[in-house]
C-alpha cells in the first residue's frame, strides 16, 4: 500500500489541531500561561514549574546539539552519513 504525501500532511494537520489545543473543560483548570496548550489539571506548586523549566531547557539544549552535530559533525569523509541528509 502506497501512502501519498498529501495524505500524510492531512493526517498530521488533523492530529496537530486535535491534540495540541486544550478542550474547554481543561482550559478552566489551567493557569493563564498554559491555558490553551495542555489538558488536565495545572501545576499544583512552584516545584512543578521548576521541573517543567528544567525539562524544557534539556529539550532545547538537546535539539541545538543535534542540529550542530548533524550539520557540522567534524567529519571530513565524503561518505559520512550527514551527506545523505544534506544533499
pTM of the entire structure?
A: 0.53
Question: From CA 58, how far away is CA 50, in angstroms rounded?
Answer: 12
pLDDT, one tens digit for every residue, the chain (87 residues): 566 788 888 888 777 766 666 677 777 777 777 777 777 777 788 898 899 899 999 999 999 999 988 888 777 777 877 777 776
Question: What pLDDT is stored for residue 79 in this prediction?
Answer: 81
pLDDT at 1: 55
Q: What is the pLDDT of residue 22?
A: 65
14 phi, psi to nearest 5 deg = -65, -50
Q: Following DSSP, what letter does each residue of 1-64 receive, concatenated? A: ----HHHHHHHHHHHHHHHSS--HHHHHHS-GGGTTT--S----SHHHHHHHHHHHHHHHHHHH
Amino acid at each position: 500500500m502506497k501512502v501519498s504525501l498529501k495524505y500524510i500532511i492531512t493526517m498530521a494537520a488533523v492530529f496537530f489541531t486535535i491534540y495540541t489545543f486544550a478542550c474547554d473543560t481543561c482550559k478552566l483548570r489551567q493557569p493563564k500561561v498554559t491555558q490553551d496548550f495542555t489538558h488536565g489539571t495545572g501545576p499544583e506548586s512552584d516545584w512543578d514549574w521548576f521541573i517543567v523549566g528544567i525539562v524544557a531547557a534539556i529539550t532545547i539544549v538537546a535539539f541545538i546539539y543535534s542540529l550542530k552535530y548533524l550539520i557540522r559533525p567534524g567529519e571530513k569523509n565524503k561518505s559520512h552519513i550527514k551527506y545523505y541528509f544534506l544533499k
